[in-house]
Amino acid sequence: MADTGGDMVQRAVEDAVAVLRTATDRDWRAVDAGRTTWSCRRTAEHVASCLLAYAGQLAGRARDAYVPFEITLDGDEDGLDPADNEGVLHVVETTGALLTAAIRTTPREVRAFHPYPFRSANREGFAAMGVAEVLLHTHDIAQGLGLAHEPPADLCTYVLGTIFPHVQPAADPWRTLLWATGRGDLPGRAPVTDWRWSNNLVVPADRLTLEGVTPLAAADLAAGGDGGFVWVEGGPFEGTREAAVMTAKAYEAGVHRPEFGLFVLVRHEDGRAIGGMGFHGAPDEDARAEIGYDLTERARGHGYATEALRALADRALAREDVRSLFATVELDNVPSQRVLERAGFVRVSEGEDELYAYELRRN
């Protein structure tokens, strides 16, 4: 999983500009973009503004808010000659190049502020958001101008698998993305009237960060890849790959919930992934969720699993829809039993089916 998203942004911008350049002789100010109330010109300016803003967030390492600047095109203020349509497309190309460069030069562990839904995004998240802005608003402009537009399917799959983890994929990723953003219909699914994309969740711990695994990264892990993480020697362990398979299957079935998915444990000291931890699915009817974990052999014995389990358990039990957590461990796996006990879990069975069961309940 070598690409960090920069290539995706570059390709999306190139494809969009090629389509829109066929209609630069039209009056973009006089035509609304698709179902929006914006003109085609205003919509193109919005695309450029988003690309620049995302580049600024990453380059500026923004923590708590957007970097306080905005783009202004010639003609948007009195006294300036207006930029023509070709000039607007040049700005889109330029801001796309800036975001591409920011993505390619930002370390993988960096996160910057974005409000939805967990107050931050990594470079892959900003790349997917940038591609989404380009694809969707090019569609809007093309509708207004009466142009044919169908972006490459892999770009749509990239967006869906990165920032739409709650949307069940379908045979046609472009039509699925349009449906998911209220721009079209999909057979067998109700129309979407309210939507938002979702960047991956991260859970902080003292020496680690638990990074939520997107469906795209889960599919890569399940297929034998690295999921976009830099692993210590021996990783990822087989249990993490099995959990990735579960995540990918849940996504394909339309039942994946990122808060109850797979997390990769990334060590602060060197940015390397040392294991996986997560849930077997969403809470059941008794508000109980099952949790599991594994670490690469070289990372064991340092308290990482206990630290991560405490952080993830605390976050889960703070939710209204979770009253207890459940875990099972083999009878002879004493180190894993000690991890559960140090994290506050209590043994609630005596070895049925060659497993001990442990539980942690909300106070």
Q: Percent of the chain scored above 90 by pLDDT? A: 87
Residue 16 contacts residue 148 (beta carbons within 8 Å): no
pLDDT at 77 over 60: no
Which residues of the chain form CATH 3.40.630.30? 202-361
Radius of gyration of the chain (CA): 23
Smallest Cα–Cα separation from 264: which of 205, 315, 317, 341?
205
Mean pLDDT for 236-259 is 94
Which residues of the chain form CATH 1.20.120.450? 6-180
pLDDT score of 75: 67
Mean pLDDT of the chain: 94
Residue 222 contacts residue 245 (beta carbons within 8 Å): yes
Fold annotation for 202-361: Aminopeptidase (3.40.630)
pLDDT per residue as tens digits for the range 318-332: 999 999 999 999 999
pLDDT per residue as tens digits for the range 268-290: 999 999 999 999 999 999 999 99
pLDDT score of 354: 86
pLDDT score of 72: 87
Lowest-confidence region among 185-189, 248-252, 296-300, 325-329: 296-300
Residue 127 contacts residue 102 (beta carbons within 8 Å): no
pLDDT at 349 over 70: yes
Mean pLDDT for 184-213 is 95
Predicted TM-score (pTM) of this structure? 0.94
Per-residue tokens: 282:
């969403």
pLDDT at 36 over 90: no
pLDDT score of 32: 96
Per-residue tokens: 347:
């043994």
- Secondary structure of the chain as H, E, C letters: CCCCCHHHHHHHHHHHHHHHHHHCCCCHHHCECCCCCCEHHHHHHHHHHHHHHHHHHHHCCCCCCCCCCCCCCCCCCCCCCCCCHHHHHHHHHHHHHHHHHHHHHCCCCCCECCCCCCCCECHHHHHHHHHHHHHHHHHHHHHHHCCCCCCCHHHHHHHHHHHCCCCCCCCCHHHHHHHHCCCCCCCCCCCCCCCCCCCCCEEECCCEEEEECCHHHHHHHHCCCCCCCCECCCCCCHHHHHHHHHHHHHHHHCCCCHHHCEEEEEECCCCCEEEEEEECCCCCCCCEEEEEEEECHHHCCCCHHHHHHHHHHHHHHCCCCCCEEEEEEECCCHHHHHHHHHCCCEECCCCHHHEEEEEEECC
Count other Cβ atoms within 10 Å, centred on residue 338: 13
pLDDT per residue as tens digits for the range 92-130: 999 999 999 999 999 989 999 999 888 999 999 999 999
Q: Please, which pLDDT band fits residue 80 given cuts at 50, 70 and 90? A: low
Mean pLDDT for 169-181 is 97
Fold annotation for 6-180: Four Helix Bundle (Hemerythrin (Met), subunit A) (1.20.120)
Q: Please, which pLDDT band fits residue 53 given cuts at 50, 70 and 90? A: very high
Mean pLDDT for 333-358 is 91
